[in-house]
Chain A
């Protein structure tokens, strides 16, 4: 995903003289091509995320379109107030890119886990929050974000994530992409964990349960038209995300459901409200948190069964 981002940024910068890239001293070699072509528009801001964010705000106030880039947990938590006041309060077109969405950097430990970032970003007025599912959505998201007149948080994985899209889908901020049609069940995949949602749907299909899958790339603004339709047509909607229960995509969907007297059951397939202190890679961490195709399929089947009993 990050290679797709760097490549897309380089191409877009050829056409857009106002695009600038600010990095928090990561992405060694990643931006070599960008730097070759646009040396004057690349800034390694050092390990100083607060300053980087406000510098981006200053650039945007002067008509530039800056993109800041560092690890998701740092590009949100470390500079939360700069995001709130300099970007959101002033409603400036700055794209914040966080790499290492959710459990991407599981093995690095909780310092590098990003399991609260969606909550923080979602809570800010004027902020748009997008979690692309794969490299294809990353490119589409970046293009859309650079057309958007306000701050955008772009939550990326790392590299070599499986592709969800074989072709280039229609993409619009705030519109989920249907990957598989739903019956009484729909699974909303958020970000790089979406392939697990697809696998879960396949496992359910083998049991005769038609589960749809939607890439819910935009967590804010929510695709409320989609939710309204799912509420009419589905009994169970599962949200699969690498995020804590507080304030993530599940929370957003559940809030919508509560506010709109929804009748659908909204299941949460995400991480717990705790730090993950055991060592382990992303696959292990997902499984330990119940974010595996098997566990998700079982929970959905159980919920559906309970619904039928009720």
Chain B
């Protein structure tokens, strides 16, 4: 487990508890602290995709802090819930939530995006405890999660499988191949969360391909669909913690989000898909996020 004291860096608070369940305010504070760390990490390691990572912070925070059965002490337990970040370019957010949740020590992050380091810009196979699948090329994660959910059914193991996709990622045909198969198999243990921030790398997702109506698409493929404010970690936690129903419909959670969420000058500005924040911008973001 990460010691709480070691998690204090550059004025960003450590998690207020190592327990999975935080009260509502603490959950929101944890998401804000994670965002501040992300901005600082992007600057320090010159890592792009900051806007994409900020967009899904509340989803990851909700999943790892109470929404799913995800505990560092159970990282290899067959019954643990499976969490797959299919939009692997937001890896920094995944690395940070795992570290803050105690899956591995902060010192491991020294190997992030440095020459010869252990953590790349996209998550590698089992690169740190808690990373269930290597991702980075879009459109793979839902199928992998589907395979895990089917394996659990064959093995008689009960767990939920949760896959986070980007809306740009839903361009990939394989996403819809997986959606059709999950619908056919009535995989009630599977849920897909679409981080619907309405941007992809080079433009508005709804202009590039006919993305809307996105919820109706999942519905038509045999899924239940819930639309939610993707920046309300409390609501997301409630949704994710819904019990599994082995032979129900899989659940698509359309999380309406803002790219670059939490930092005024990054919000909904697609330049932050690739831009790296300056030192001043890191400090400004920290002040905004932590009100200090």
Contact = CB atoms under 8 A, between A and B. Distances in A.
Interface of A: 20, 40-41, 43, 45-46, 48, 50-51, 53-64, 66, 81-82, 85-86, 89-91
B143 A54 contact: yes
A89 B120 CA distance: 14
Nearest to A20: B154
Interface of B: 78, 82, 124-125, 132-134, 136-137, 139-140, 143-155, 173-174, 177-178, 180-181
Contact of B155 (A50, A63, A86): A63
B146 A85 contact: no
Across the A-B interface, the 7 shortest Cβ-Cβ residue pairs: A58-B147, A54-B143, A51-B177, A62-B151, A48-B177, A55-B147, A58-B144
Contacts, number: 101
Nearest to B152: A62
A50 to B, nearest CB: 4
Given A58-B144, A90-B134, A51 B151 contact: no
Given A57-B144, A89-B134, A63 B151 contact: yes
Tell me which of B125, B132, B147, B155 has the highest count of chain A C-beta atoms within 10 A of its own C-beta.
Answer: B147
B interface secondary structure, majority: helix
B154 A55 contact: no
Given A89-B125, A90-B133, A51 B178 contact: yes
A55 B146 contact: yes
A15 to B, nearest CB: 16
Contacts of B134: 85-86, 89-90
Contacts of A57: 133, 143-144, 147
A48 B146 CA distance: 14
Contacts of A62: 78, 82, 147-148, 151-152, 155
Contacts of A59: 147-148, 150-151, 154
A46 B174 CA distance: 12
Contacts of B149: 58
A58 B174 contact: no
Contacts of A85: 134, 136-137, 140
A246 to B, nearest CB: 24
Contacts of A63: 78, 151, 155
A54 B140 contact: yes
Contacts of B147: 54-62, 66
Given A50-B173, A62-B151, A63-B151, A55 B133 contact: no
A2 B61 CA distance: 49
A54 B153 CA distance: 17
Given A58-B144, A82-B174, A91-B125, A48 B150 contact: no
B133 A51 contact: no
14 contacts: A54-B174, A55-B178, A56-B147, A57-B147, A59-B150, A59-B154, A61-B133, A62-B78, A62-B82, A63-B155, A82-B143, A89-B125, A90-B133, A91-B125
